[in-house]
Amino acid sequence: MKKNISISQLSGPAIVLVILAMLVVPLPGAAISFLFALNIAIGLVVLSASLYVQSPAEFSSFPSVLLSTTLMRLALNVATSRTILLDGYSGPGAAGKVIEAFGYFMVGGNYVVGGIVFIILIIINFVVITKGASRVAEVAARFMLDSLPGRQMAIDAEVNAGVLNSDAAERRRTELRKEADFFGAMDGASKFVRGDVVAAISILAINMVGGLLVGVFQYGLDLGAAARTFTLLTVGDGLAAQIPSLAISISAGLIVTRVSTGEDIHSQISSQISKYPQALGVSALITGILGVVPHMAHVPFFLFSGLLAGSAWKINESQDEISTISREVSEKNDSKNEVKIDAIPDVTGVDPLGMSIGFGLSSLVSGEDAKLLKRLTAVRQRYGRSMGFLVPAVHIRDSSDIPIHGYRFSIRGAYISEGEAWPNQWLALGGQNVINKLNKGHHVKDPAFGEPAVWISQGDISLAEEMGYTVVDASSAIATHFSEILKKYGAELLGRPQVEALILRLAEGTPRLAEDLRTALSVSIIRQVLQALLMEGIAIRDFERISEALVECAESGGKDIDILLSAVRARLGRYIVNKFVTKEGVLRVIVLGDKLEDLVYRSIKAAKDVGENMDIPPDVVGHLRESAFEVLKNIREIGGGVPLVVPSLIRRKIFKVVGDILTVLGIDEIPDSIRMKVVYTLGLSDERA
**Claim to verify: residue 233 and residue 182 sit in the same structural domain:** yes
Q: What is the pTM of this model?
A: 0.50
Range ranked top by mean pLDDT from 34-38, 94-98, 430-434? 34-38
Range ranked top by mean pLDDT from 245-259, 352-366, 515-529? 515-529
CATH of residue 426's domain is: 3.40.30.60
Q: Does residue 155 form part of some domain?
A: yes
pLDDT > 80? residue 486: yes
* Residue 409 binned pLDDT confidence (cut-offs 50, 70, 90): very high
Q: What share of the chain is helix, strand, coil (3-state, %, to 5)?
A: 65, 10, 25
Q: Does residue 405 form part of some domain?
A: yes
Q: Who wins on pLDDT, 369 or 261?
A: 369
C-alpha torsion angle, residues 114, 116, 121, 126 (rounded to 10): 140
pLDDT, average across residues 397-407: 85
Write 624-627 long-range contacts (CB < 8 A, 24+): 624/596, 624/600, 624/654, 624/657, 624/658, 624/682, 625/657, 625/658, 625/661, 627/596, 627/682, 627/683, 627/684, 627/688
Using DSSP, state whether 362 is helix, strand or coil: coil
* Residue 343 binned pLDDT confidence (cut-offs 50, 70, 90): very low
Contact 607, 617 (CB under 8 A): yes
pLDDT of residue 544: 92
Task: Mention every residue, 6+ apart, whose C-beta is less than 8 A from residue 630.
Answer: 688
* 220 sits in which H/E element: none
Domain boundary among 230, 258, 286: 258
pLDDT > 70? residue 616: yes
pLDDT > 50? residue 147: yes
Distance CA 135, CA 151 (A): 23
Q: Does residue 341 form part of some domain?
A: no
Contact 682, 627 (CB under 8 A): yes
pLDDT in tens, 344-353: 444 446 778 8
Backbone angles phi, psi at 429, to 5 degrees: -95, 130
**Claim to verify: residue 406 and residue 503 sit in the same structural domain:** no
Backbone angles phi, psi at 108, to 5 degrees: 65, 25
Average pLDDT for the chain: 76
Domain boundary among 571, 598, 621: 571
Quote the domain boundaries for residue 184.
11-258
pLDDT in tens, 175-216: 777 777 776 777 666 667 667 777 777 777 777 777 777 777
**Claim to verify: residue 374 and residue 285 sit in the same structural domain:** no
**Claim to verify: residue 376 and residue 285 sit in the same structural domain:** no
Domain count, the chain: 5
Contact 386, 427 (CB under 8 A): no
Task: Mention every residue, 6+ apart, whose C-beta is less than 8 A from residue 464.
Answer: 426, 428, 438, 454, 456, 471
pLDDT of residue 345: 46
* Residue 597 binned pLDDT confidence (cut-offs 50, 70, 90): confident
Q: Does residue 330 form part of some domain?
A: no
pLDDT of residue 464: 80
pLDDT of residue 341: 47
pLDDT in tens, 452-464: 888 888 888 878 8
Q: Does residue 151 form part of some domain?
A: yes
In whole angstroms, what separates CA 406 from the centre of its chain? 41
**Claim to verify: residue 309 and residue 378 sit in the same structural domain:** no
pLDDT > 60? residue 645: yes
Q: Does residue 1 form part of some domain?
A: no
Q: Who wins on pLDDT, 259 or 400?
A: 400
pLDDT, average across residues 308-315: 76
Distance CA 328, CA 199 (A): 64
CATH of residue 552's domain is: 1.10.8.540
Q: Does residue 269 form part of some domain?
A: no
**Claim to verify: residue 125 and residue 243 sit in the same structural domain:** yes
Q: Does residue 658 form part of some domain?
A: yes
Domain boundary among 490, 519, 553: 490
For the chain, give the percent of residues with pLDDT over 70: 71
pLDDT > 50? residue 337: no
**Claim to verify: residue 501 and residue 480 sit in the same structural domain:** no
CATH of residue 632's domain is: 3.40.50.12790
Q: Who wins on pLDDT, 99 or 402?
A: 402
pLDDT of residue 162: 53
**Claim to verify: residue 622 and residue 689 sit in the same structural domain:** yes
Distance CA 193, CA 126 (A): 8
pLDDT in tens, 270-279: 666 666 677 7
**Claim to verify: residue 118 and residue 208 sit in the same structural domain:** yes
Which of 475, 467, 463, 378 lies closest to 425, judged by CA? 475
**Claim to verify: residue 558 and residue 590 sit in the same structural domain:** no
**Claim to verify: residue 474 and residue 594 sit in the same structural domain:** no
**Claim to verify: residue 113 and residue 231 sit in the same structural domain:** yes
